[in-house]
Structure 1
Amino acid sequence: MASQNLQSALAPLTRRPIQTSLAAILTTTMLTWSYLDYRAYIALGPGGVPHNWFGWLAVTLFIRPFALSKSSATYTGDYPSEGGHDEMKNLSERKGERAEIGGIVPHRQLSQHAPEHMRESIQNLFANIVTANPATLESKRSLYERHNPALFVSPSLLSSPAAPSTAKTARGEIGHHHGDMSVHLYLSPADARLAIEKGWAERHRLSVPRTSWFANRYHVADSYVLVYGPRDEGEMEVLATILRCSARFMTGREVERAEWRQIIA
């Protein structure tokens, strides 16, 4: 009886060998892809969504399908070619190839990392720009990353009817730096074009054009970029310029340039 039951169960498989083989191949392929993609997700470290299987599944099902492709992260066709800050226009082109970037959420730099001694300089820069502009800027925990401090528009400016729409979409968050020393920032669309075309940055993959039906979802506007970590003091000066222009755009106010070589009390 048991043998007959087994034969009955296997009969459909033996009658459809091609379909059975294809199903097995597809299942194996999907399981392998899922395992490798999950490992890559975990390797990016924590940031924004749970750093576990549930976070990976949420990104895979609800975020990845609507994100820009990797190749589209350097697209600038939706940004204006005029209107950028003079300091951004005067930036030189970044040397070498673009850094490799991985993930969507989290979104991290995988190659050409800044040397460890630059970490303090980046921290100084973010702290000092708040010290230099206390009426317009403040520091608090990132709403995107949830694990690290970020630069914000002051509440009084953000609540003003004149506050830039991008600042309202971002809930006031201007930007933050990561453990890999890359930096996420909002720039004006014209400045974002300059930063990307000169090789200093690329779009966050949720920073889709305004014409997309997915625009502004998850509180991510169209000019949110990742700036590659500074590899030397010259690139640190570039980051200081980009950060200042970012803060100007998000506050709608003039912003004092910040020192990065030492902390300013």
Structure 2
Amino acid sequence: MSLTAISRPDQSWPQRPGPRPRTTTVNPHEQLDQNAPHDLQDRLVSQVLTLPGVMLGESWISVPGSRAFLLDASVSKGGPEAFFGPTTEFAHIHPAHDGSLHAKLPAADAEKIMAAGWGEPHPMAARHGPPINNVMLYGPRDEAELATLLAILRRSYDFGLGSVEA
């Protein structure tokens, strides 16, 4: 599966099967059950790193042990709403015991992704009201979910590139 070939320009998302996982309602925002197997987490990271201009680094905003997906400054043309803080971090994956992610997404995509059951607003984002574009994405439980999460992360990447409108 090549992440560079994954795209959902129609912005439609399949429904995530089953109930939503339990999560914390305060910082740190964590997924408490239905956690992603470690091998799927590693494959997700490897696939995201195949995107041009993406590097792995420490998260500016998340808990220790989180891995941040950073855009090289030469390709990061998205607005400040596409990144966490004063960095080019467009998404991060939490430590292996958790396996959930946070991603910056265009608000319209974020709404559809959350409505389809793939994530929820970050507790701090929810306090500030719409538009919400800081989304917790639940870790993938199987191959099909991995493919959907890679497509969602591709949207986040495109948002960081500036090729998707806020």
- TM bin, normalised by shorter chain, reads 0.7 to 0.9
In the aligned structure 1, how far is the partner of 2:32 from the partner of 2:81?
A: 28
CA RMSD of aligned residues (A): 2.4
In the aligned structure 2, how far is the partner of 1:168 from the partner of 1:198?
A: 23
In the aligned structure 1, how far is the partner of 2:129 from the partner of 2:14?
A: 30
Alignment match, 1:102: 24
Alignment match, 1:62: none
Alignment match, 1:86: 9
SS at match of 2:74: helix
Pairing partner for 2:79 from 164, 167, 186: 164
CA contact (8 A) 1:141 1:150 kept: yes
Deviations 1:112-142 (A, max 9, x none): 112233132122123223xxx12xx333211
In the aligned structure 2, how far is the partner of 1:237 from the partner of 1:224?
A: 20
Deviations 1:117-175 (A, max 9, x none): 3132122123223xxx12xx3332110124332112322355xxx64130366322101
In the aligned structure 1, how far is the partner of 2:118 from the partner of 2:83?
A: 25
Pairing partner for 1:241 from 148, 151, 155: 151
TM-superposed deviation, 1:211: 5.7
Letter in 1 for 2:21: A
Pairing partner for 1:200 from 111, 114, 118: 118
TM-superposed deviation, 1:111: 1.2
CA contact (8 A) 2:57 2:67 kept: yes
* TM-score, normalised via structure 1 length: 0.52
Q: How does 1:17-96 map to 2 (within 5 A)?
A: 86-89=9-12, 91-96=13-18
Larger relative contact order, structure 1 or 2 (CA cutoff 8 Å, min sep 6): 2
Is 2:67 aligned against 1:149? Answer: yes
Count of residue correspondences: 153
In the aligned structure 2, how far is the partner of 1:210 from the partner of 1:174?
A: 19
Question: 1 or 2, which has the higher strand percentage?
Answer: 2
Runs of 4+ in 1 over 6 A off after TM superposition: none
* % identity of equivalent residues: 28
Letter in 2 for 1:200: W
In the aligned structure 1, how far is the partner of 2:142 from the partner of 2:83?
A: 34
In the aligned structure 2, how far is the partner of 1:170 from the partner of 1:147?
A: 18
* TM-score, normalised via structure 2 length: 0.80
In the aligned structure 1, how far is the partner of 2:133 from the partner of 2:142?
A: 26
Change (3 A) 1:163 1:86: closer
- Listed as ranges, the gaps of 5+ residues in structure 2 are 1-7
Change (3 A) 1:115 1:139: closer
Alignment match, 2:47: 125
Q: Which has the larger radius of gyration?
A: 1
